[in-house]
Amino acid sequence: MRFRGAIALLVTLSGVAAAQRPPAGGVGSAAIGDQRAQLEARFRRQLAQAVRVRVGLTDAQMARLAPVNERYSVQRRELQTDERATRIALQRALRAGSSDSAQVAALLQRLIDQQKRRVNLLEAEQRDLAAIMTPIQRARYMALQEQLRRQVDQRRGGGGQGQGRRRPPPQ
């Protein structure tokens, strides 16, 4: 199935991105950058084809989806970065031994606020997608996105749903 090929390519891209980051101005960095750009372009084409087929979108819908998808992808990445930083700060605060209760409370509140932002982002995205897709197409699209995220998480070692963590949680 083409979608599985797109997933395999995404995993390959993740490996290329992590393993082949060239040093700044290093020899061969242009070639690696070109190779990565080609792989990313190929992945985007394959993923677009999988979305078109599995969700059942027309060319016009696909054209309208691209900018919406890009906008929310950027916002999701920013939110994930913020959440990761907050979780790391919380872990450090808890490992410090003499944890400052006010600091921990503030970090917990920040996590809650970030979850609210995540819900608001999902609602805004769904409103924008509703202008492009039918409810059935939106449901298929959400399922496809979730499946892709889960597979990427599993390939990265996250295991999804909290499984396969490399470190135990702080005590």
Per-residue pLDDT tens digits of the chain, which is 171 residues long: 444 444 443 443 343 343 334 444 555 677 888 888 898 888 888 888 989 999 999 999 999 999 999 999 999 999 999 999 999 999 998 888 767 889 999 999 999 999 999 999 999 999 999 999 999 999 999 999 899 889 888 988 865 444 444 444 444
Q: Is residue 171 part of a domain?
A: no
Q: Is residue 168 part of a domain?
A: no
Q: Is residue 26 part of a domain?
A: yes
Dist. CA 84–CA 89, nearest whole Å: 9
Dist. CA 11–CA 16, nearest whole Å: 9
Q: Is residue 121 part of a domain?
A: yes
Q: Is residue 169 part of a domain?
A: no
Check whether residue 138 and residue 128 sit in a common domain: no
Residue 97 gets which letter from DSSP?
Answer: S
Check whether residue 1 and residue 52 sit in a common domain: yes
Judged on CB neighbours under 10 Å (0-12, 13-18, 19+), 125 is buried
Q: Is residue 35 part of a domain?
A: yes
Report in angstroms the alpha-carbon separations of 107 from 126, 162, 170.
Answer: 29, 20, 15
**Tell me: the pLDDT tens digits for 87-106?**
999 999 888 876 788 999 99
Check whether residue 73 and residue 113 sit in a common domain: yes
Q: At what angle do helices 59-95 and 29-51 cross, to 10 degrees?
A: 120
Check whether residue 141 and residue 126 sit in a common domain: no
Q: Is residue 167 part of a domain?
A: no
Q: At what angle do helices 135-155 and 29-51 cross, to 10 degrees?
A: 140
Q: Is residue 20 part of a domain?
A: yes
Number of domains in the chain: 2
Dist. CA 73–CA 148, nearest whole Å: 13
Range of the domain at 73: 66-132
